[in-house]
Structure 1
């Protein structure tokens, strides 16, 4: 049966719409922002001056602004400061995920630090003014920094750009071009011991064969150590952890060796394409959940007058801070627990793998009224979304009188047996003594 041409067209457009909808969703089901027209993006302006002591003073001013995507000559969509980002080989929108309300955007001025050079693209000038646009995902999916190049009508006079910033008025339209982006999809990393996490770092530049230098450093205790460096100009690299072949495609991700306690710190990925320098700080923290156990089963039966040492062990956790509490509550009764105060703690025990253990214990000598109570050990730790609980039910019984009676009768019988055995010997001894006399 032949499908009519009209039905074919309808099916084609439905199918095309579905494909387009799927393409507009990210691999994680996130909404694509590739075709977004504008984003609210406050502009952190600054004024810089030299004080009487010759020191540089900077005052920051938060100003309302928007980031608008379009072409040269477009009119601003909002009556505020507008940074118009025109088409280039670098489009920050292709890296964005989520919805617009999950993005925090901020624009700042960027100083080249006295480096005066022409950016190697058509239309660039020695006196170009630079801005950075940083977009953070509110749920920590990524952080991206884009360098925006703006060409002014005339060059600034002087050697230091931040002393002669271009004046930006409240409704100015600044036409810019995205020159470079530096992105990480791992703004922070939390893993356990002996893992090999991948620190994501990606960059893109608007021209081919850029003179790029990529570095990874680790900062901890106020000191920085170099982990890796690569220069495209010389082709030489130092250190390990980054696949050099992938740098040409903009992938500068760093793979850590199996994590240990000393792996914690802030990992810094930096990309320098003169006169631009972009970097992202990626803090790495280690975390291991405690293994919790108590030294009795789910039910503890005790005899009145006896006592029992009850131990709650939290083992293999990291970092150090952990909280162990014992409490009791009536089974099926009041929901308010009664926390025990006579708890003793061991010292923290450090294991070879860098994790810790701690014990909390108390001595229980229950009364008959304690029978039926539920005793619980609760362990809280940074690695846990909710505390771990281990519980047992207490049953208290009186001593068995039957056993007591059996013990007494057994004692009496033993005494009688001994008496029956000793009495004939005693009497025989007395007779023998009388015969001697």
Structure 2
């Protein structure tokens, strides 16, 4: 069950100020303003019993109180806006004057005698953002008294001293910022609400490192899904106003700022979505002999396939005699970052350590890697054998190798002797066979003479 309430938001009115001599723009001025969204539908809840309707206090004519009635255009996430304070979230709101398309001004006198304002509302935590276009109630200039006219905005005031409007158009997103890994399919959420049926076109732009380009455009009757690249579900757009963009197999090249620009006959509005690629590193720790001599060893912490660039490496040493406490190793050096074919990076951090003595058996070295993609660092550990252990291992390995060689040689001799015995046996058998076989003489028949 839904209930109609009034949403009151503290906003900032942003306007362009005149420059020197009033001839050129001089920047922007920011002033306090109040936005009242009337008749917003939210789910019924017992906490709403204490809510009262907004009643403006007597104010001066220069005060900026915008009252916008929500009738045909639904405000998404209105419940989140209503309870933002209770949820520990902040709501930011900016209002500025809006100028319609030229084609929107032509036609009825009603459109000509209305002023428009646009408001951008954001909930902290990158959870929701909406841009609302509002228009004033139609008026005639000569029918409004000077005392009921806002001196700066040049729009009529209601008897309560507020600027009365209706919500005409809204564009919103539930994903103002997206962090995702490589290879995923990403949905850039963008939706729209209209007060009346109208022709809608959508264009998506991508900006990155100072350059921008259009990556998808829909105009009624002209756009179809491309075989490759980003795409929209046109049927969803036509049925429910869903202008979301899909990117399959996301790569580093797809990172950037995306702009969803929605246009109708009279209005246009946009949402900005930040897409950040994050790829956690793969960490491997290994040791190699040092060129400084057998008493030292090089430990290499190899950090592969991470994005974005910056990683932090911390080395540590745990010695049993220190009750396993981690001792930080400060002296290390790193290779230069290497860029992989997929845009990720690889780097190695290296330390030179002394091979543990027999008394330091059980010494463990750790490499801890921190990255923006990780909630906790990745830690790799390595137990480095002492010099005595290495010599013992080498001696044992030598004995083992000699034993294996001896066994293989014995097996070879045994096999060779068996083969020679089988050969002599076959030769003796063949000789005995020749001796025992009798000679058979075939009788010859004399030819009969006639």
Distance 1:143 1:173, change over 3 A: same
Q: Is the 8 A contact 1:112 1:275 kept in 2?
A: no
Q: CA deviation at 1:184?
A: 0.9
- Gap change, CA 1:394 and 1:77, over 3 Å in 2: farther
Q: How does 1:136-155 map to 2 (within 5 A)?
A: 136-151=122-137, 153-155=139-141
Whether the 8 Å contact between 1:116 and 1:127 is mirrored in structure 2 is: no
What is the aligned counterpart of 1:127 among 113, 122, 127? 113
**Which residue is 1:41 aligned to?**
10
Partner residue, 1:245? 235
Distance of 2:94 and 2:234 partners within structure 1: 32
Select the residue among 198, 202, 216 that pairs with 1:214: 202
Contact 1:228 1:238 in 2 (8 A): no
Equivalent in the alignment of 1:91: 74
Give the drift of 1:143. Answer: 0.7
Distance 1:376 1:168, change over 3 A: farther
- Does residue 60 of structure 1 match 2:26? no
**In structure 1, distance between residues paired with 2:339 and 2:330:** 26
What TM-score do you get using the length of structure 1 for normalisation?
A: 0.69
Q: Deviations over 1:169-222 (max 9, x none)?
A: 9x83222111011011111122222222111110011001x1322111111232
Match in the other structure for 1:290: 281
1:190 and 2:168 aligned:
no
* TM-score for the superposition, normalised by structure 2: 0.68
Shift of 1:289: 0.3
Q: CA-atom RMSD, angstroms?
A: 3.8
**Separation in structure 2 between the aligned mates of residue 193 and residue 357 of structure 1, nearest angstrom:** 16
Corresponding residue for 1:224? 212
Helix, strand or coil for the counterpart of 2:102? coil
- The separation in 1 between residues aligned to 2:249 and 2:345, in whole angstroms, is 19
Q: 1:401 to 1:190 in 2, by over 3 A?
A: closer
Query: In the aligned structure 2, how far is the partner of 1:286 from the partner of 1:40?
Result: 34
Q: CA deviation at 1:227?
A: 1.4
In structure 1, the partner of 2:55 is: 77
Partner Cα separation in structure 1 for residue 241 and residue 263 of structure 2: 12
Q: 1:100 maps to which residue? A: 84
Instruction: Report the equivalent of 2:446.
Output: none
Aligned length: 355
Structure 2 residue runs of 5 or longer lacking an equivalent are 41-51, 143-150, 288-292, 394-450
The equivalent residue for 2:102 is: 115
- Aligned residue in 2 for 1:381: 371
Q: Does 1:268 align with 2:259?
A: yes
* Conserved? CA contact 2:182–2:250, under 8 Å: yes
**Which one has a bigger Cα radius of gyration?**
2
- Per the alignment, do residues 66 and 87 of structure 1 end up closer, same or farther by CA in structure 2, a change over 3 Å counting? closer
Q: Secondary structure at the match of 1:295?
A: strand
Provide the secondary structure at the position in 2 that maps to 1:100: coil
Report if aligned partners of 1:229, 1:239 keep a CA contact under 8 Å in 2: no
Whether the 8 Å contact between 1:118 and 1:124 is mirrored in structure 2 is no
* TM-aligned CA deviation for residue 47 of structure 1: 5.6
Distance 1:335 1:402 in 2: 25
Deviation of the 1:397 alpha carbon: 6.6
| 2: CA distance, partners of 1:130 / 1:64 | 16
CA displacement, residues 71-116 of structure 1 (integer Å, 9 cap, x when unaligned): 9xx9843437543232421021556537322351414122316737
